[in-house]
Amino acid sequence: MNVLFIGPYRQPDEWGEMSRSIMKSMLSVDDISLTARPIFLSQAILNPESCDPDIFRCEANKQSDYDVVVQHCLPNFMLQDGRFKINVGITSMETKGNKEWTNNLELMDKILVCTEAEKDCVPKKLRDKVHVIGASVDLVETSVVAPNPRFSFYALAGNLETKVGILPLLQAYFSEFHLNETVSLVIQTPKVEFAQQMVQETAQTLGIYAKSLYPHVHIVESDPENSLHKNCHCLVDVSVTRGFKRDVAKALLYGNTPIVLQGSGMDEYVNLENGWVVDSTESILVCPDRPLINVFTGKETCIIPDKLHLRKCMRDAYDNRAFRNSKSLKGKETASLFSIKKQGELIRGILQL
């Protein structure tokens, strides 16, 4: 099967990482001959030396004809091309009710997403051609023991966009823990000053603490070589959007018992055996810092955490160390869920339907 893959695999961001992982899964299948051509959804370009050379070798391939074209991108970039037998779109659907992309999705013969939660975001009339492919994650070193005696929750907060959910996390953390407890919340973001301001304003707004007397918060600008996964204890991701989160999968493999939202798609691989699932409700999306024009608007819906249940889960993770250790061991056993070969076989089966 000759497949032309078009995607942002030359980007160093989350889209690029996902694109490369999908390509590696397809390359693991013997009867897929893969040709790749890059597109760019951002101005950042990956250093080829930091990437698997097999990915870039696909750019040298060229076939006289192709059976399938796979487009990994936002739906508004997807095009139907009659030169191919099958047109496939791979994308991420973070919210429900987005009608801006429906016309482009209708052009595809098959639509691939990573989670059932994302499939549920696609309009009902299109769901018959939507297939869930899961995700693949490279194996990580799972024998690392966190040396920090202070129990550390951690959140990978991007640029502190509204959709990341850092504000409800801070509110739950501050309302549950005390300064004297040996606990810390580590927030990773390049916007350190903005994060510091958010921390101080949240503590003051709650009215519980005098200035600078709230529970310990540590803000770091970057996360070189997965240092947070290696040194912290419990990842918290209460993003209001749906979809697969690679860092949540990595946290599982490191034994870091993720705390995630019900209905987020992350609860399809995080459960009560290996982490915590926080109750959530579907709500109108309010996102003033929307990433794209005409999407992430109030016409769409998101999921929001039950903050009382969130802080209960955090307390449980902090207090019940033996229970958390049991969950940690179960998380380390989930590597088969993120197998490159498994995803490759699944994609091949879908393309042959």
- pLDDT of the residue at 44: 85
- pLDDT of the residue at 306: 98
278, HSE (Cβ side, Cα atoms, 13 Å): 32
The C-alpha atoms of residue 27 and residue 150 are separated, in whole angstroms, by 43
What does the buried/exposed string (b/e) look like for 8-44 if buried means 16 or more CB atoms within 10 Å of the residue's CB? bbbbeebbbbbbbbbbbbbbbbeebbbbbebbebeee
What does the buried/exposed string (b/e) look like for 265-275 if buried means 16 or more CB atoms within 10 Å of the residue's CB? bbbbbbeeebb
Which two three-digit tokens encode residue 217? 């918060």
Three-state SS at 207: coil
Listing DSSP states for 86-142 in one string gives EEEEE----SB---TTHHHHHT-SEEEES-HHHHTTS-GGGGGGEEE----------
Instruction: Of 49, 252, 51, give the one whose Cα is nearest residue 140.
Output: 252
**If pLDDT is split at 50, 70 and 90, which confidence band does 224 have?**
confident
Residue type, position 320, single letter: N
Average pLDDT value for residue range 316-337 = 94
How much is the pTM?
Answer: 0.94
Q: Is the pLDDT of residue 140 over 70?
A: no
**If pLDDT is split at 50, 70 and 90, which confidence band does 143 have?**
low
Average pLDDT value for residue range 198-203 = 94
Q: For the segment 28-69, what is each residue's pLDDT rounded down to a tens digit?
A: 999 999 999 999 988 888 887 778 899 989 999 999 999 999
Residues ≥6 apart with Cβ < 8 Å to 343: 21, 22, 25, 133, 134, 135, 136
CA distances from 98 to 102, 202, 210, 254, 306 (A): 8, 31, 43, 35, 24
Q: For the segment 239-253, what is each residue's pLDDT rounded down to a tens digit?
A: 999 999 999 999 999
Residues ≥6 apart with Cβ < 8 Å to 106: 126
The C-alpha atoms of residue 102 and residue 129 are separated, in whole angstroms, by 13
Q: Is the pLDDT of residue 177 over 80?
A: yes
Q: For the segment 261-304, what is each residue's pLDDT rounded down to a tens digit?
A: 999 999 999 999 999 999 999 999 999 998 888 889 999 999 99
